[in-house]
Chains A and B, each alone.
Chain A
């Protein structure tokens, strides 16, 4: 091995070591509570009772300048089998065969979400249940609890502003083995979940008071969506 090659290898190893130390020491503690206040992190949420005893929970939050009813209208459309995606980085999800397609607007047919309904994380979820989550409980405009205790809590700050708090209890073997969960699932989940919260914010704030007028049911659903998003 030449001196230059040895130097390059050592530099690369040093950079990777720095990346790992930076992630564990600084980034991970920060992203596990991205956007959340101390109170929100400490707060008991409805899904906590469903979390596995050894789960490590992330609590992430965002302020959305739209009424809770608007945020709810977008939130209940979540799922590859429903609105089409999870409002996150669709291009990244589709590299993993998720089959996501952008949600174009509020679909009145998707507003009646019920306990037991499935939300697909990928297009293969029909034959691979591990890629779907089920609605465990819900309270319109306030709370959505999915499998494993994944909780979306909507808290109105005033008539036109909503705080969305999301808690995800991650099991150590979420991705086959704790080491894979820690190095692949957890950072990827942060990227996707923060992307989802930002996507919901973008969608809800585009038309906070839902000025669209649903058309008669015989109209194609594309015509019923408002033009704001």
Chain B
């Protein structure tokens, strides 16, 4: 197990903490990416409808600030769950790397990290596709894509990168 069988390897608490931290950053990054998209789309709509005399700058600013408040509040609600998933995933990746990547190969570390996240992500996607069945519509796909599809992609990418980073640190400690 990480932290118990090899000096220099991060302990379980530290590993879980790093995982929770990475997940928190991912939630923040996703929220900011959504806000940029929402700012652009709402901005274009407002530019086409409101003229400057009718208060375009104030309406634009109020819309953006209101969107930010609501999105950050939702991110705050999602954050504890994301941190928990991040901590658990970090422990899983640490254990898998300790078992299957003793030689610290970066490619294998990346594959283990991404794979550890992709497996549950694929299960969730398949379960949803099966349960939606004939009710599957483009609108539902849009909703699930935003709330689940893109976050799962971020999760897989973060898992791969975190595993690579863990591997890099272990190599540095060993050297």
Contacts and interface: CB of A to CB of B under 8 A. Distances in A.
B128 to A, nearest CB: 13
Contact of A97 (B49, B59, B67, B143): B143
Contacts of B38: 92
Nearest to A88: B45
B45 A31 contact: no
B6 interface: no
Interface string B66-106: 11111011100000000000000000000000000000000
Contacts of A202: 48-49
B50 interface: yes
B124 interface: no
Given A95-B146, A97-B143, A191-B42, A184 B62 contact: no
Nearest to B67: A191
Given A19-B65, A191-B42, A198-B50, A123 B72 contact: no
Contacts of A35: 55
28 contacts: A16-B72, A20-B69, A23-B66, A23-B69, A27-B65, A34-B59, A34-B62, A89-B45, A92-B38, A92-B41, A92-B42, A95-B147, A100-B139, A183-B69, A183-B70, A184-B70, A187-B65, A187-B67, A187-B69, A191-B70, A194-B59, A194-B63, A198-B49, A198-B50, A199-B49, A201-B49, A202-B48, A202-B49
Contacts of B68: 19
Nearest to A185: B70
Binding site secondary structure of chain A: helix
Q: What 8 A-B pairs are tightest by C-beta distance, nearest first?
A: A187-B66, A183-B73, A97-B143, A99-B139, A198-B49, A188-B70, A187-B69, A187-B70
A123 B42 CA distance: 23
Interface of B: 28, 38, 41-42, 45-46, 48-50, 55, 58-59, 61-63, 65-70, 72-74, 137, 139-140, 142-143, 146-147
Interface in A172-225: 180, 183-184, 187-188, 190-191, 194-195, 198-199, 201-202
A158 to B, nearest CB: 18
B40 to A, nearest CB: 11
Contacts of A95: 142-143, 146-147
A94 B65 CA distance: 21
Given A94-B142, A94-B143, A99-B139, A190 B72 contact: no
B142 to A, nearest CB: 5
A36 to B, nearest CB: 12
A229 interface: no
B73 A31 contact: no
Contacts of B139: 94, 97-100, 123
Contacts of A195: 42, 45
Interface in A1-54: 12, 16, 19-20, 22-23, 27, 30-31, 34-35
A71 B69 CA distance: 32
B35 to A, nearest CB: 11
Nearest to A96: B143
Nearest to B147: A95
A191 B58 CA distance: 13
A142 B49 CA distance: 24
A29 to B, nearest CB: 11
Contacts of B143: 94-97
Contacts of B72: 16, 19
